[in-house]
Amino acid sequence: MDWGLEAQDRLNEIAGCSLTGPGVTRFPFTPEHAAARKIIEGWMTRAGLEIRLDAAGTLIGRTGPADAPAFLIGSHQDSVRGGGQYDGIMGVALACLAIEALNTRGTPLPCAIEVLAFADEEGVRFPTALLGPRALAGTVDPEVFTLEDRDGISLGTALDAFGGAQGDVVGLARDPGSVLGYLEIHIEQGPALEQADQPLGVVTGICGIERNAVRFAGQTGHAGTVPMEGRRDALVAAADFVTAIHDTARNWPGLRATIGSISVFPDVVNAIPSEARLTLEIRHEDDRRRADFHAEAREIGAAIAQARNTGFGIEQTYAQPAVPCDPALVAALEQAAPGAPRLPSGATHDASAMADLCPVVMLFVRCRGGISHRPEEFASADDMGAAVDAAARFLAALPNRD
Ligand SMILES: [Zn+2]
């Protein structure tokens, strides 16, 4: 059996569970999700798993003694609008194939294993995400069930109609003693593995994220009558800030700094801008380095404000700490994927929420051009086959719990 080609076939098939239009559009608790669920149930059945849907809409396939602690392996079934056919669902497909491969070879599993197909990682339909892993970790805020999609359907209503039960979600929280760990296989969504000419990478941690509101305050005036000398132009200061942050961040290994939004007041063609508001997002695997860069950004902004004679402020509006992967699981995954380089994840994953419950690790699979969240997203059958082999070796080598 060529597990990579099998993965390609299965992903091609399930890509049809999508709204029409370019790429894959599969939101949680929709008819597309229901169609995908049927196909995933087929994969789980072929892997010899016992299937159930939990109250949060996570499809679970389990093998092993009913009350034994389980090792969990999973990812998400949903996509962004016009996304690709690998993000998320590939991790579910490869998890099933790894178990099927072990069964085919007659390799016994050392402990109970559960494959998890989470409903909603992307957070596109409802203004929330990660319901499935948060339910298992016991970190769901019950308020989320009142959040509505564009048609006014609440998350709770959609979940219940799908076969979940919003009232039972809080009860899904697992006893940490019953969970041995969590592995997620995912496309890299970046270019590092392609550049390193490696099919697989072992994730060392998921980057922390902070967002800041940045403001430069100057003085408006008539575009024609106020001379260039002495102007206090907030947008000019902001422009200096954008380039200075970008150029500084390039010298910080592993750091990502992005100014993705800017607005100007009064925002008219013939007035000097009196105010510029920017966002600054900073990501790093090490929270201390992220805090250091925040301090650096503050100094850069203050220096620019002084030079341009404007006011300056920076205020953190959101912070999500980094999630380190478990060192023992990282080492075990390296054993199972010899030669695979270590790398951080710049994006959030289901593993981010699972880390509140148990030790986590992720296996990244090379994707063409680092492209993701687009129809052109692509991972090769060879690379997926390598991931199935690595996952099978990893599972077979877990500590024996029988
Ligand atoms: Zn994903």
Query: Which backbone phi and psi does 109 adopt, to 5 degrees?
Result: -85, 135
Q: How far is the CA of 72 from the centre of ligand 1 (A)?
A: 17
Angle at 384 between CA 181 and CA 92, to 5 degrees: 45
Name residues whose C-beta falls within 8 Å of residue 117's C-beta, 6 or more positions apart in sequence.
Answer: 37, 40, 58, 59, 60, 74, 75, 76, 77, 92
Domains parsed from the chain with CATH numbers: 3-206+322-396 (3.40.630.10), 208-320 (3.30.70.360)
Q: CA 208 to CA 299: how far, in whole Å?
A: 21
Query: Which backbone phi and psi does 24 adopt, to 5 degrees?
Result: -105, 130
Q: 275-284 and 208-217 as β-strands: parallel, antiparallel, unpaired?
A: antiparallel
Name residues whose C-beta falls within 8 Å of residue 306's C-beta, 6 or more positions apart in sequence.
Answer: none
Q: How far is the CA of 113 from the centre of ligand 1 (A)?
A: 21
pLDDT for position 372: 96
Tell me the per-residue pLDDT of 300-351, one tens digit each, with 9 for 90 and over. 999 999 999 999 999 999 999 999 999 999 999 999 999 999 999 999 999 9
Compute how many other C-beta atoms are within 10 angstroms of the C-beta atom of residue 325.
26
Are the C-beta atoms of residues 3 and 389 closer than 8 Å to each other?
yes
SS3 362: strand
Tell me the per-residue pLDDT of 239-279, one tens digit each, with 9 for 90 and over. 999 999 999 999 999 999 999 999 999 999 999 999 999 99
Q: How far is the CA of 90 from the centre of ligand 1 (A)?
A: 9
Tell me the per-residue pLDDT of 172-187, one tens digit each, with 9 for 90 and over. 999 999 999 999 999 9
pTM for the model: 0.92
Q: How far is the CA of 46 from the centre of ligand 1 (A)?
A: 24
Tell me the per-residue pLDDT of 312-325, one tens digit each, with 9 for 90 and over. 999 999 999 999 99
Say if residue 402's pLDDT is above 60.
Answer: no
SS3 349: coil
pLDDT for position 115: 98
pLDDT for position 400: 85
Confidence of residue 354 (pLDDT cuts 50, 70, 90): very high
Confidence of residue 401 (pLDDT cuts 50, 70, 90): confident
Instruction: Identify the residue whose tokens are 């201390």.
Output: 288
As residues whose CB is below 5 A from the ion ligand 1, the structure lists 87-88
Are the C-beta atoms of residues 203 and 252 closer than 8 Å to each other?
no
SS3 75: strand
Helix (H) / strand (E) containing 162? helix 155-162
Q: CA 319 to CA 272: how far, in whole Å?
A: 33
Q: CA 72 to CA 58: how far, in whole Å?
A: 13
Q: How far is the CA of 218 from the centre of ligand 1 (A)?
A: 42
Tell me the per-residue pLDDT of 22-49, one tens digit each, with 9 for 90 and over. 999 999 999 999 999 999 999 999 999 9
Q: CA 22 to CA 375: how far, in whole Å?
A: 6
Q: How far is the CA of 400 from the centre of ligand 1 (A)?
A: 30
Per-residue pLDDT averaged across 234-241, rounded? 98
Compute how many other C-beta atoms are within 10 angstroms of the C-beta atom of residue 98.
27
